[in-house]
Amino acid sequence: MIIEKSLDTLRHSAAHVMAAAVVELFPGTKVAIGPSIEDGFYYDFDSPEPFNPQDLIKIEEKMHEIAKQNISFIHSTMIKKQAIENFLKHGEKYKAEIASQIEDDEVSIYKSGNFTDLCKGPHIENTQELKNFKLLSIAGAYWRGDSSREQLQRIYGTAFFTKQELDDYLVKLQEAQKRDHRKLGKDLDLFSIHEVVGGGLVLWHPKGALLKNLIETYWKNFHFENNYELLASPHIASEELFKISGHLQTYSENMYAPMEIENKPYRIKPMNCPMHLMIYKTKLHSYRELPVRYGELGTVYRFEKSGVLHGLLRVRGFTQDDGHIIVAQEELETEMLGAFNMAIKCLKTFGFNDYKIYLATRPVEKFVGEISNWDKAQKSLENALIKTGYEYEIDEGGGAFYGPKIDIKIKDALGRLWQCSTIQFDFNLPEKFDISYIDDSGKKARPYMIHRALLGSLERFIGILLEHYAGALPFWLSPVQTVIANINEEQIEYAKSILKKLKQAGIRASIDLRNEKIGYKIRENALQKIPYIIVVGNKEMENNSVAVRARGNKDLGTMSVDGFLDLVSE
């Protein structure tokens, strides 16, 4: 933990040195905010001219020049009013605004050379400690994240203690760029997003829609096997529904504006759970029926600012992998354990075997329900986790206001963590919707509710899958599993007969009959990450065989069509 804090300090200091370099190189530039972040640091600037990639090189060179000067980071405090006046005097309106919102009468100041910053610190002792850093990219950012405020320029960078750590990170970054799901989505013709359609709204192309359907089909069958009932709910609902659920009062900034239908306000749904509870309420339930397990691949819509939209990973319309369990108190632990085991089995099916697991507990201030009930729920979750045998960490105060939860983060091929599965207890909605069941004494009782997602949203999960596998999806998930390429026109009919046989065997096969050289066709189809390429020439046609190449340019030799089917069926 000490190393992590020191790295945070190093990166925060690097942000200051970068700001010093920028204001020296580009007079008139105003500085805003410059924190360390998970993989590095950034600083936001209000510059008269836009920065370009060549500017990054200049700024980095200037940073090295400053670092070599062995300049100390000197801490002091200043009366808040005086600090505000000083910042305004030097045209630093953003720093003045931040200072004005600090509650204390004094503010913390750090000075390094000619650069003075409003900052709590801490920092490294002097700039000479900063040796291994790299500026990475330029992006736009609104001041305070508010699209109605000033548009700033954000420069990202990273820093490490050793050159080896920096080099390793840059190699990893290059690999991540190659695996960027947005590039892969275009190269593999899976999906597209167009401003004329709307930011964050995904158009699935034929192969992408097929991939999505493969995951949905697996998901549905998996839920049937685990005794879930599948539901379907509409995309819009009366605003009254979201008043009952509380979303209108607590989540309205993430909801789209109402539409009026026959003088009644309606909303596009941001959640599926209110509709699931309305289905539960349509009949009386006995304790013998519990737990009731509902599942839906329901498309929901949430407002995200344009600045945070990111391919499939952050969208405005997405298919939620949703499950809701209505359960009696005494069965809570069993159902939590069942949901956890379902999540792990599901993630393993897609090739994810490394996890970080968290138990998120009651928030310190805003929460609903009695503390004694929270304690019972948290204990049930913890008991379920202990029974799994997996290691877990406590995320103190990280639960939602309506209940504690278990979060499962998966580690991808590059070692990056992604939040996917969540098992969330809810005290709130059963009360708001006044749901009940008849207990074994014949009286009405209030059930508990569990929200759970195994994959998260399908859009985001597909983005993670593409990056994890660098687009080379497992055979069962590949939209096209095999392509047949003929050498010349003489093999066209033979190639078509193979295509028919493969399709009859349930293989997702396509055929490439273009009048191109076979080497070109092999290269083109290999770029599509197709698991197997079947080549047929006169020799194969005469012997009723096929020449097979596996992904990764592996020549598997010649075999019969049945031999190929045996190979892929394994």
Q: Would you list the DSSP string of 273-294?
A: HHHHHHHHTTS--BGGGPSEEE
Instruction: Assess contact for 323 and 452: CB atoms under 8 A.
Output: yes
User: Is 302 annotated as catalytic?
Assistant: yes
Catalytic residue among 451, 460, 468, 549: 451
Catalytic residue among 46, 322, 426, 512: 322
User: Is 249 annotated as catalytic?
Assistant: no
Catalytic residue among 12, 179, 181, 302: 302
* Angle at 147 (CA atoms; ends 144, 150), nearest 5 degrees: 65
Catalytic residue among 119, 123, 154, 273: 273
In angstroms, what CA-CA distances link 508 with 476, 504, 531?
10, 10, 11
Instruction: Assess contact for 115 and 52: CB atoms under 8 A.
Output: no
| Dist CA 544 CA 505 (whole Å) | 17
User: Is 395 annotated as catalytic?
Assistant: no
| Dist CA 331 CA 189 (whole Å) | 46
Pair of tokens at residue 144: 């305070």
The H helix count followed by the E strand count for the chain is 18, 28
Instruction: Assess contact for 136 and 158: CB atoms under 8 A.
Output: yes
How are beta strands 482-486 and 448-453 bridged, if at all? unpaired
Catalytic residue among 316, 405, 468, 529: 405
Instruction: Assess contact for 369 and 427: CB atoms under 8 A.
Output: yes
Instruction: Assess contact for 37 and 10: CB atoms under 8 A.
Output: no
Catalytic residue among 179, 324, 452, 529: 324
How are beta strands 191-192 and 229-230 bridged, if at all? unpaired
User: Is 134 annotated as catalytic?
Assistant: no
Pair of tokens at residue 490: 């003489």
Q: Is 493 helix (H, G, I), strand (E, B) or coil?
A: helix
User: Is 243 annotated as catalytic?
Assistant: no
Catalytic residue among 95, 134, 269, 320: 320
User: Is 144 annotated as catalytic?
Assistant: no
| Dist CA 543 CA 541 (whole Å) | 6
User: Is 419 annotated as catalytic?
Assistant: no
Q: Which residues are catalytic?
A: 273, 302, 320, 322, 324, 405, 451
